[in-house]
Structure 1
Amino acid sequence: MAVSTDTPPADLTNPRSVFFVSDSTGITAETLGSALLANFPGARFDRRTVPFLGNVTSVDAVVADLRRAAAAGAAPIVFATVKDAGIRSRLAGAAAVVIDLLAGHLTELEAELGATAETRAGQYHGLGDLEQYFRRMRAVEFAIEHDDGQSGRDLASADVIIVAPSRCGKTPTTMYLALHYGLLVANYPLTDDDFPTDGLPRIVAPHAERCFGLTTTALRLSQVRHERRPNSTYSSLAQCTLEIRRAEDLYRRTHIPLLSSATRSVEEMSAVILQSMNLRDRPHERPTP
């Protein structure tokens, strides 16, 4: 889509309406659209996701919403993952800036593969490979069982064991790796009972080569904990400083890799863990039971 060089710069201080529109779940539109919007940290956006367009959700209703949003301010931005040509045409006729996240890429693939893409809606998020689906379900069950050190059963099967003080991002990172990559991930919380010690806690020590440590800043940890237990020793800056220092000393002594979660998203942390632990191809090497 060409952008006129004569167009004055937009006022990024006013919230811009953004629609993630899909004929399926909307996950792809949200993910790709949000990745693009992240390049404009000074801008403000009012976001709305519209899934199952043309099936559960009326196309006419969405077009009307886009026109209302345009009448109230700048033209809304639409990130679309819609395969139906008729629906795409209706969206293109609305008072909006429509960014089609599929059409151009599908055309390129069709040309390269010498085949026509199927027009059935919603197939991106179907079950697809059943072996992969069951692997991910098993990984989620494993993550739930081994969350926060609840179980030491079958830790030898874990692809990675995330070790960190409470509220450093262990659980969301564990679940992301399980859901998106089918990895068997456990996590263990470092508490006062684990110190002083020269090595890793007893339950995870036999699996040190698969341990990965998370840390953060004491101030960030205190802020996060304060939301859960305000004005407590648990959330005090002094306690958080002590726990972070002890954890980082432990990681260094035991030579396990570590990463700060202070300024990283779950997606970024997961990518670093995958790369540093050589886990990207691990699920495909283990048969699904």
Structure 2
Amino acid sequence: MIHPAFFISDSTGITAETLGRSVLSHFETIDFDYIVLPYVDSVEKAQRAVERINLAAKDYGTRPIIFDTLVNQDIRRVIATSDGFIVDVLDTFLNQLEIALGKKPSCTVGRAKGPEQEARYRHRIDAVNFALDNDDGAKLDRYDQAEIILIGVSRSGKTPTSLYLGMQAGIFVANYPLTEEDLEDNRLPKALQNHRARLYGLTIEPERLAAIRTERRPNSRYAELRQCEDEIRQAEALFKRFGISYLDTTHASVEEISARILSEIHIRGHHRS
């Protein structure tokens, strides 16, 4: 049985989704259908959200789980009329912190950021734009601006990891796809040779890679298991030859992959914003 899980927010929904997914990941025997409803900032939008929740309850035949970070009490009361089970993300923490700190929280929708917070926000946006501009080796002349350069064969998880690191940690990440020609040479591509200290490799099990590539290009040499096995073997040999740290993305979420990379970046002494 698939269980619907809603993440509802009067803003982007990133907080509700991040915390909610983390909690639900502990229920490994249950398959969840994740549905994000951002910018629910009016009673009318809340009513439409309730309609979707109730429809999901009917379609799936089970009570939806709702994680919300709503501040407006009128909107929260509307969501409370739904057929879902509500987990109030903010109250879970704010009530306890209010007791510990002896102060009431400032519950303001879209609360304005201070100068430092605003600067951090702008930095993360710049990092995301950098990841987009430097996806799949798009702008090799900007690699000196990257804090880290992810390398790996096509479809090994480089792009989502680059974007996640930019959005969540403000890390400027470029990524470079190791092509068949690169791997046959058994040496670092010319574009990477001056940036060895910034390289981080991603690998993946050949069977999983073949399945992903088949969805993209079915019945192609690109998706053949033998081709995937050869590319992965050569890529890992390249990582080992040049002392490039790497990790297997097969059974890891983008959050887990990013956390591993960030922990190693921290050890290396890289700056994080």
Q: Which runs of 5+ in 2 are unaligned?
A: none
Aligned to 2:72: 84
Alignment equivalent of 2:152, drawn from 147, 159, 164:
164
Cα gap change, 1:197 to 1:46, in 2 (>3 Å):
closer
Aligned to 1:235: 223
Alignment of 1:117-128 (within 5 A): 117-123=105-111
Residue 20 of structure 1 and its aligned partner are, at CA, apart by 2.4
Residue 82 of structure 1 and its aligned partner are, at CA, apart by 1.8
The one-letter code matched in structure 2 to 1:19 is F
Aligned to 2:165: 177
1:20 aligns with 2:7: yes
Alignment equivalent of 1:43, drawn from 3, 6, 30:
30
Secondary structure of the structure 2 residue equivalent to 1:204: helix
Q: CA deviation digits over 1:104-132, x for unaligned, max 9?
A: 31122223333321221233999972222
User: Does the CA contact (< 8 Å) of 1:50 and 1:57 recur in 2?
Assistant: no
Percent identical: 39
Q: CA deviation digits over 1:163-193, x for unaligned, max 9?
A: 1111111111111111221211111111122
Aligned to 1:276: 264
Q: Distance in 1 between matches of 2:94 and 2:43?
A: 25
Q: CA deviation digits over 1:185-244, x for unaligned, max 9?
A: 111111122144453211111111111111111111111111121111111111111110
Q: Distance in 1 between matches of 2:238 and 2:8?
A: 47
Secondary structure of the structure 2 residue equivalent to 1:102: helix
Q: Distance in 2 between matches of 1:154 and 1:251?
A: 22
Aligned-residue CA RMSD in angstroms? 2.8
User: Does the CA contact (< 8 Å) of 2:183 and 2:231 recur in 1?
Assistant: no
Q: Distance in 2 between matches of 1:65 and 1:112?
A: 37
Q: Distance in 2 between matches of 1:212 and 1:253?
A: 13
Alignment equivalent of 1:252, drawn from 228, 232, 240:
240
1:190 aligns with 2:178: yes
Q: Which runs of 5+ in 1 are unaligned?
A: 1-12, 285-289
Cα gap change, 1:16 to 1:273, in 2 (>3 Å):
closer
Q: Which moved more, 1:247-256 or 1:271-280?
A: 271-280
Alignment of 1:36-115 (within 5 A): 36-55=23-42, 57-63=44-50, 73-92=61-80, 95-115=83-103
Q: Distance in 2 between matches of 1:261 and 1:27?
A: 22
Q: Which moved more, 1:34-43 or 1:269-278?
A: 34-43
User: Does the CA contact (< 8 Å) of 2:136 and 2:176 recur in 1?
Assistant: yes
Cα gap change, 1:135 to 1:240, in 2 (>3 Å):
same
More helix by share: 2
Cα gap change, 1:49 to 1:277, in 2 (>3 Å):
closer
User: Does the CA contact (< 8 Å) of 1:213 and 1:257 recur in 2?
Assistant: yes
Please give the TM-score of this superposition, normalised by the length of structure 1. Answer: 0.81
The one-letter code matched in structure 1 to 2:23 is L
User: Does the CA contact (< 8 Å) of 2:43 and 2:75 recur in 1?
Assistant: no
Alignment equivalent of 2:203, drawn from 215, 223, 230:
215
Aligned to 1:287: none
Cα gap change, 1:125 to 1:70, in 2 (>3 Å):
farther
Secondary structure of the structure 1 residue equivalent to 2:150: strand
Q: Distance in 2 between matches of 1:184 and 1:163?
A: 14
Please give the TM-score of this superposition, normalised by the length of structure 2. Answer: 0.85
Q: CA deviation digits over 1:92-150, x for unaligned, max 9?
A: 46554221111131122223333321221233999972222232232223223322112
- Which is greater in Rg? 1
The one-letter code matched in structure 2 to 1:24 is S
